[in-house]
A and B are shown apart, each in its own frame.
Chain A
Amino acid sequence: AQSVTQLGSHVSVSEGALVLLRCNYSSSVPPYLFWYVQYPNQGLQLLLKYTTGATLVKGINGFEAEFKKSETSFHLTKPSAHMSDAAEYFCAVTPYGNNRLAFGKGNQVVVIP
Chain B
Amino acid sequence: IAGITQAPTSQILAAGRRMTLRCTQDMRHNAMYWYRQDLGLGLRLIHYSNTAGTTGKGEVPDGYSVSRANTDDFPLTLASAVPSQTSVYFCASSSGADTGELFFGEGSRLTVL
Same complex for A and B? Answer: yes
Is B104 in contact with A43, judged by CB distance below 8 angstroms?
yes
Return chain A residues, CB-CB under 8 Å to B1: none
Q: Please tell me if B61 contacts chain A, counting CB pairs below 8 Å.
A: no
Within 8 A of B (CB), among A50-89: 51
In whole Å, how far is A57's beta carbon from the nearest beta carbon of chain B?
Answer: 13
Q: Please tell me if B100 contacts chain A, counting CB pairs below 8 Å.
A: yes
C-alpha spacing A32/B101, complex, angstroms: 10
Within 8 A of B (CB), among A15-66: 32, 34, 36, 41-46, 49, 51
Is A43 in contact with B90, judged by CB distance below 8 angstroms?
yes
Is A100 in contact with B99, judged by CB distance below 8 angstroms?
no
Given A43-B90, A44-B90, check contact A99 B102 (CB 8 Å): yes
Q: Please tell me if B41 contacts chain A, counting CB pairs below 8 Å.
A: yes
Return chain A residues, CB-CB under 8 Å to B59: 102
Return chain B residues, CB-CB under 8 Å to A104: 42
In whole Å, how far is A34's beta carbon from the nearest beta carbon of chain B?
Answer: 6
Given A97-B98, A99-B98, A101-B102, check contact A106 B58 (CB 8 Å): no
Given A41-B106, A99-B94, A100-B48, check contact A105 B41 (CB 8 Å): yes
Is A42 in contact with B106, judged by CB distance below 8 angstroms?
yes
C-alpha spacing A45/B90, complex, angstroms: 12
C-alpha spacing A102/B48, complex, angstroms: 13
C-alpha spacing A6/B33, complex, angstroms: 23
Return chain B residues, CB-CB under 8 Å to A34: 100-101
C-alpha spacing A68/B101, complex, angstroms: 21
In whole Å, how far is B4's beta carbon from the nearest beta carbon of chain A?
Answer: 8
Interface residue ranges, A against B (CB under 8 Å): 6, 9, 32, 34, 36, 41-46, 49, 51, 90, 92, 94, 96-97, 99-106
For the complex with contacts A43-B107, A97-B98, A103-B44, 8 further pairs of A-B residues with Cβ separation under 8 Å are A32-B98, A42-B106, A43-B90, A43-B104, A46-B101, A99-B96, A100-B48, A104-B42
